Structure formats: structure tokens, C-alpha cells
Structure 1
Amino acid sequence: MPSDLFIVGGGPAGYDAAMAAAKRGIKTTLVEKEHLGGSCLNWGCIPTKFLLGAVASLAELEGQVKMKTASGQIQLDLPALVDRKKRHLEATRKAMAAALDKAGVQLVRGELKMIGAVKSVVTVGDEPQVFEYKRCILATGSRPAAHPGLKADHDAILNSGDILSLREVPKSLLVVGAGFIGLELAQFFSRAGSAITLVEAAPRIAPSEDEEVSKALHQSFKRMGWDIHTGVRIAALENAAGRARLVLEDGREFGADKCLLAVGRLPNSRNLMLEMLGAEVKGAGWVHTDEHLMASPTVYCVGDVNGRTLLAHAASSQGEWAVRHFAGELSDPYEPGPIPGCMYGAPETMRVGIMEAQAREEGMDVKISRSQMVANPIAQAHGATGGLVKCVWGEGRLVGVTAVGHGVASLATLGTVLVSQGWTHKQCEEFIFPHPTLDEALKAALLGPAA
């Protein structure tokens, strides 16, 4: 039966697009080959937060022990945690399916085999079926990257999906890649009892973040006992008698019970033959989109697969925007404004807008103001006083905020509002912040001397 809108992929972009279309009375079909929720729910954002939430009390206890105000032990039950995570994911997927059904969205469990301008072939069970539509939203997401010589064997060498199902904490864990995925999972296993060795090809960990943030993270993780190696290249990685063995190009060798490969993401665009529609596919398979998120005259491409911003909330924004564009509610180019990003754990990070290096590269009249977390009463109360909040000013307006430290991800929403509206120093002075709160670290940075 023909649909108005044919959506491929039930992750944040596809699911939110389907629900937005249903609210508008648009006849919609959603195809998902595996699990509703995509990588975010099943192997990314949500399960990793279940793990980090389970060791948050350990981080809190560390702070109190450091201040000599408490002592004791907290025992993690990893099998129970993994089971709880599994129950939550299953229940959430069930609730999502029920919501789609209630909204009138046709949910098809199958795999897209060939995409067309107004009809596509989907394998449902073992049978190919043809679906017709007016327009398609392609939201197939991404998967863990593998590079020559750096491939998961799903035994000793794991990807980010594999490691979430471990039921025993490895005594030693080798982490290849110091982006947010590697750092969040390394934090969990470190607090759960693993000895961490971290290897990163870039000159610093968290290489996409502000340099001051990277430095603060490095110092924090060194204090946690991590063995960190940056600016290095890997010559070999293998499963040696059930353990991971890594050799660097300089000859140094490391072994561990398990290795986590966290070396980026790749788009799920294989074998779709998008070029037949006139779409442009770049590099590893990233689908080029125009100013209206369209890869061809009838196909929108949203979320990770277009390579714009690999974040779940960015994907949802794009999916919902594509529906509004299809419905004729807007015609201007897609302009999401500043998109916040956070790393969770202890410490956390947040950033939104333009960082200092980019602002200077763009030739702005740049000024920087900061506050140190040690001056914040909430950070002091938790015994977690490392880190800072940093504000970037361009032409007299706030263009970026970044932070690292205790609970700073909670500053992301307010920071995004201030940056998106381009607040001036005077506006910040007139805004009342509640006391005592972590938000006051942002206030101190906004109102601090700028130079």
C-alpha cells in the first residue's frame, strides 16, 4: 500500500521523524531491520549511561575519601547491571513500537535492499517487497569503524557494542581511541576495577575538544592510574591466546585481557546504490545532502549517515525538520544553530558553539573568560574541584562555552541558549543565577575578566 512518507531506520532520526509525521496526519511507513532506537538506545547513549550511573557512587565516594570525610566500599554487580540494562532496552523498544502503532505508523521489520526515487525494495523475512511513496527519509545511522589491522574479533578485541555485554570486569583493558566513546567506557571499567591503558593517535586525548579541556581530562585520568599514550601509531593488534596484544610502530608492546576499539564511526550506506538516484556519496559512504537535507529530489538523508553531526539529538532535529519541510511548513535552508555535545562520567565535559582555536582561525576579535571549578560550592561539596568553565567571546558576544569537571554536562542547555542568542556581557550581568548551584560556575566564567 503506498505511503506519503517512507522512513528507513528506527533510530532517533527515523523514529522522531515518524512520530512527527503521524502528528501531521501524514501516511507513514517506517522500516527497521534490527532494533528500534538504533545505536543510541541499544549500543550507545543509553546503555553507556546505565553503566556510568552504576559507578557514579564510586566517584562520589572517591571525593569524600579524598577529603577524609568518609570511607567504605561499594561492590559493583556487573551481571545484575547488564541484566537491568537489557530489561530497560527491551521495555523501551516495546514502548516505542506501541507508540508507533498507536500513532498509525506502519512498522515494517525488514532490511532495505535497494532505494528508489518513489519505490524501494525491502526484504521482509526472506521475501522482497516493494514499497511506494512520495518521498523517503533515509536515516540508517552509523556503526563502529574498523580499519586495516584494527578489527574486532568479538572475543579479546571488542567494539563498543560488544563490550556492553561483558558480564565480568576484565582485570586489564586496552582502549584504542580517546574520543568520547573510548573515554566514557574507560571511565566505567576503571571504576569497576580494570587497569586502563589508553592509546590515541592524535597528539592529545579528546582531540576534538578545546585544548584546555583535553589537558584537564588527561590530568584527571592520570590521577586515576591510567597509562596514557598519545601521538602514537599502531603496528599490530591481535588476539594472542585469548588476550589482546598491541604493538606500536616504535616497538613498544602492550597486553590486556580485553581491548576496546573506539576508533570512530562509519555510515550505514553500503549496497544501497544511492548513486543511481543522483546522490553523491563521499569517502567511507557519507551521503552528501543539500541545504534542505536532501540527497536527491525525493530522498532526505538525516542523522549520522550524512556525516554532518554524529549526535542523537542532532539526528532527531534533522528528522523532524525533514518532516516539516515535506509538509510544506518551511522552505528555508536547515539551520540548527549551535549543537551542544557532552561527555558523561566523572569528570564530565560540555561544549557548544565555537571554541577558541576556531574563533581565532576565523579572524574574530576573540576574548576569553574563565572560572575554575575549585571556586564552586557544589563542586567543593562533592570533593571534585578539578576543571574549569571557559567562555569564548567574538565581537562582544558569546559565541562558545566549554567546560570540564563535576556535573558540567548540566550546563549544556543554558549554555546553548546563551550562545544561540549571542548574549552580551551586559545581558549576563542582568541574569539571576540560583545559589548555590553548579550553574554559578558558568556565571563566574561569563562575568570573569575577559582577555
Structure 2
Amino acid sequence: MADAPTAPYDVIIIGGGPGGYNAAIRAGQLGLRAACVEMRETLGGTCLNVGCMPSKALLHASELYEAASRDFAGLGIDVSPRLNLAQMMAQKQESVNGLTKGIEFLFKKNKVDWLKGRGRLDGPGRVTVEGPDGTVTYETRNVVIATGSEPTPLPGVAFEDGKVVDSTGALSLASVPKSLVVIGAGIIGLELGSVWRRLGAEVTVVEYLDRITPGMDSDMAKAFQRVLTKQGVKFRLGTKVTGTRVVKAGVELTVEPSKGGEAEVLTGDVVLVAIGRKPFTEGLGLETVGVTPDARGFLANDHFKVADGVWVIGDVTHGPMLAHKAEEDAVACIERIAGKAGHVDYNLVPSVVYTFPEAAWVGKTEEELKAAGIAYKAGKFPFSANSRAKINHETEGFAKVLADAATDRILGVHILGPQAGEMIGEACVVMAFGGASEDLARTCHPHPTRSEAVRQAAMGVEGWTMQA
């Protein structure tokens, strides 16, 4: 066993993903002696290495490829694009490498130690790291658990490299499959399904529920499904997958109606299992500090605290399982450890689906407001009436603003359209300050921009929308 430092750390973070590395950097900025335990060869966790970042690299590249193949001629640009999948994968990895190296630089800049290896709790104030240099136990005043999540397996479905894959495998297929079956109509499944459809695959999405994107406003979800269907994605909703079998022709899936009925077999060259993610807590030594996950594997917390000197952030605790939520948790948690105030309003954490068009939302859906008995008004504006969207031939979708019927305070904003993920930030700011739909409606927006659609939707709450 190697020797540990004699002086204890102020905080050790277990996990180097968006929650972990942001916690470590903030701790260093506040003058705390900090270390981050990460077992991967690179920092950044799932998000930077095999999640958010590589998927966005492929979404961007595949969107340009499809535009060049389908749309450029109508704009007066004659080209004959040819797919070079190896180069597309190489540029993806180059981007990822640059980002992970950037985190290493920030660790050094803020005097954060990277403890390479697998970390676990070893009683109060102790973290043991099994790494390339042996096993070392470190003393620390605080531990932050930021171990994130992993793909949820599906009973009856066994993964097989290149045939039955999770999101990580779908990011590095060696060739474009003729047919891809996606199990799960959530954000990950629809994004990766979109990538491979653009590159030439026939994509079928199988979903247990009778709708896509659970958690999204149903009005927007229905419109979103129509757009994706028009693009060529096939949907089998209300359908349960009971098993898979790899055969010479590809992969056979046994499916049946979710509410009961006769089984049938679907066949695809590749199957992507994307039914969600679950907290990663295996082998963390939680029992040594008296912490037990709940029935779903999450670690419940009291303002990020789960035991004396033990804190938790990101996907491993409750709240949206999103990288930017983990980042917010990280800053708030470290500031609490440093004796400052730290808080995250999960109602103001936006969600984005990075397809084309994008879908983005923050706050309450109409279904949630109705279920809670909250009286509200809605304003809605289509991108087909937005000048910039018309000029760019990007007219699918709409913006919708939901506001309290009595106070006019904005309760939710939902955008299906080009660059929706960029525009939703405006809604987050207005809502964070308790703004009303009239505040947004009377704020001058540049013309012509897509953002005017959001303003027009806010104007529509009181019925004074002006068409482009």
C-alpha cells in the first residue's frame, strides 16, 4: 500500500464528471484543499467521454451531412456529399480529447489533485482509492459523492458488441446499419436515432408508453413526433420488448402490446437500448458511513448532505438527471461546505433534445398545471410565422408560454424549433426573477431572429400576438 498525504483534504470528490469536476474546481477557487477521484483515463465522466459531448459532435456533423444531401440544392448550392464515417468519428474524438484536457488544465490552475483510480468510502472522513499505484487511504473533512449514473438494463435483453448496444456503443458503430431499432423514445434514444437516420439507417423506435419523451408537454410531444415521423423515423408506441436474439440476419426483438396482446418479432441490424439511466452506487462503501440508497437507487439528501461530512450531487441524487443540473448541484454543495449559501431550484433546470428541430422546455407543463389545479393562460406562436425561420426554411414547431392567470408570472416555456436549446435560456432568466409574460412580451428582441417567436408567444398570453 502506498503512503497517503499526512495532512487531510478539506474535500474529496468521488467522480470526475460534470458534477465532480465542477465541484473540485469551485473548491479550489474557494481556497479549499481538494482532490477528485476518477477511475477513467480521462476526466469528464460520461458526459464528456461517452455522452453529451460526443453525441452532440455526431448530431452536428450528421445534420450538416443531411443538409448538404437534401437541402443545399434548393438554396442554389450544388454538391455531392460523400459520407466518411471514420473521419466523422475521428473529429468527434478530437473534440472530446480537447475538452478533457481542458479540465486537467483547470485542475492544475486551481490546485486540485486528481487521484486516479476507483474510490470508495472507508468510514467517516476516509476515502480509499484503488489505482495504478496501489491502494491508498486518504483523510478528508468532507466527501462529495458525484458518481453519476449508468444505462438502465432491460430484462431479457443482453448486450452484444456492435449488435445490441447502449448509448456508448451507439456512439462508435463501425458502419451505418441498414436498420436500427431504438428501444426507448426518450432524449437519448431520439438523439442517437436521429444521428443514424441522417447517415442512412432505417430507424424504428419502440416505446412502452403510448407517447414519446415522457416529461415533455404533451402538446409539444405530439408535434415533435409528427416532425420526426415526417423525417422518416417510425414509431411503435405502447409496445413492450420482452427479449432479443442475435441471428445471422441481425437482431430479432420479441415485442407485444404494453397492455397485453399477441407477440410478434421485429428485426434490425442493430438494437439500441435507451430506456433511461440509474444511479451508480455500486461498491462505494456507503454502509461505512450509514448511508442507504432508496428503492430506486438514489441517495436522498438534505441540502446535498446525507451524513456528517458526506454530501451528494448530480445523477446519484434526486432531481433531473442532466449534466447542467449536476453542475449547479456542484457549485451549491461546495459553497455550503465553505460556509456560504448554496441552493438549486430544480423547477428552473431546462431540458433540451438536440435533434432537428430542437425541443427545449423549462418549468411546468400544461398537464402538471391542470393536475395541480392552477389556473393559467397560454400563448403560442408558430415558427411558420417567424421571419427568420421562413427565410431559413426552418418553419417546423412553435413556442409556447404558460403564465399564472391571476399574477401573469411565467410558469413554463416550451419551444420546438431551430436553436430551441439556445433560446430557452432567456426563459430561465425571466423565470428566475419571477418575471411575467408581459415582461417578456415588452422586451425588445432583434429582428429578424428566431427568438422573436418566444416574445410573440408571450404576447399571445394576453392575445396581442402580431404575425410576421
Deviation at 1:74, TM superposition (A): 2.6
2:335 maps to 324
Deviation at 1:339, TM superposition (A): 0.7
The aligned amino acid for 2:27 is: A
Alignment partner of 1:447 is 2:459: yes
1: CA distance between counterparts of 2:51 and 2:279? 15
8 Å CA contact 2:403–2:461 kept in 1: the answer is no
Equivalent residue of 1:76, what SS? coil
1:278 maps to 290
Bigger Cα displacement from structure 2, 410-419 vs 193-202: 410-419
1:374 maps to 384
Alignment partner of 1:119 is 2:126: yes
Deviation at 1:126, TM superposition (A): 6.5
Q: Structure 2 residue aligned with 1:300, among 311, 314, 317?
A: 311
The aligned amino acid for 1:364 is: I
Q: CA RMSD in A?
A: 2.0
Report the TM-score, using the length of structure 1 for normalisation: 0.95
2:433 maps to 421
8 Å CA contact 1:337–1:420 kept in 2: the answer is no
The aligned amino acid for 1:269 is: T
Equivalent residue of 2:13, what SS? strand
Q: Structure 1 residue aligned with 2:35, among 5, 29, 47?
A: 29
Equivalent residue of 1:134, what SS? coil
Percent sequence identity over aligned pairs: 29
Bigger Cα displacement from structure 2, 183-192 vs 248-257: 248-257
The aligned amino acid for 1:286 is: F
2: CA distance between counterparts of 1:421 and 1:150? 47
Equivalent residue of 1:448, what SS? helix
Deviations 1:60-96 (A, max 9, x none): 4577479686665432211101111122222322232
2: CA distance between counterparts of 1:340 and 1:109? 33
The aligned amino acid for 1:116 is: G
2: CA distance between counterparts of 1:253 and 1:340? 38
Bigger Cα displacement from structure 2, 24-33 vs 426-435: 426-435
8 Å CA contact 2:120–2:285 kept in 1: the answer is no
2:417 maps to 405
Bigger Cα displacement from structure 2, 38-47 vs 415-424: 415-424
Alignment partner of 1:6 is 2:12: yes
Q: Structure 1 residue aligned with 2:281, among 257, 269, 272?
A: 269
Q: 1:62 to 1:420 in 2, by over 3 A?
A: farther
Matched positions, count: 449
Deviation at 1:137, TM superposition (A): 0.6
Alignment partner of 1:179 is 2:190: no
1:100 maps to 107
Equivalent residue of 2:455, what SS? helix
Deviation at 1:110, TM superposition (A): 0.7
Report the TM-score, using the length of structure 2 for normalisation: 0.91
2: CA distance between counterparts of 1:238 and 1:120? 42
8 Å CA contact 1:138–1:302 kept in 2: the answer is yes
Deviation at 1:370, TM superposition (A): 0.3
8 Å CA contact 1:121–1:130 kept in 2: the answer is yes
Pairing of 1:24-423 with structure 2 (within 5 A): 24-34=30-40, 35-61=42-68, 64=71, 72-125=79-132, 127-241=134-248, 243-249=250-256, 250-290=262-302, 292-330=303-341, 334-335=344-345, 338-394=348-404, 395=406, 396-423=408-435
Structure 2: gaps (5+ residues): 257-261, 464-468
Alignment partner of 1:20 is 2:21: no
Equivalent residue of 1:208, what SS? coil
Equivalent residue of 2:301, what SS? coil
Q: 1:62 to 1:372 in 2, by over 3 A?
A: farther
Structure 1: gaps (5+ residues): none
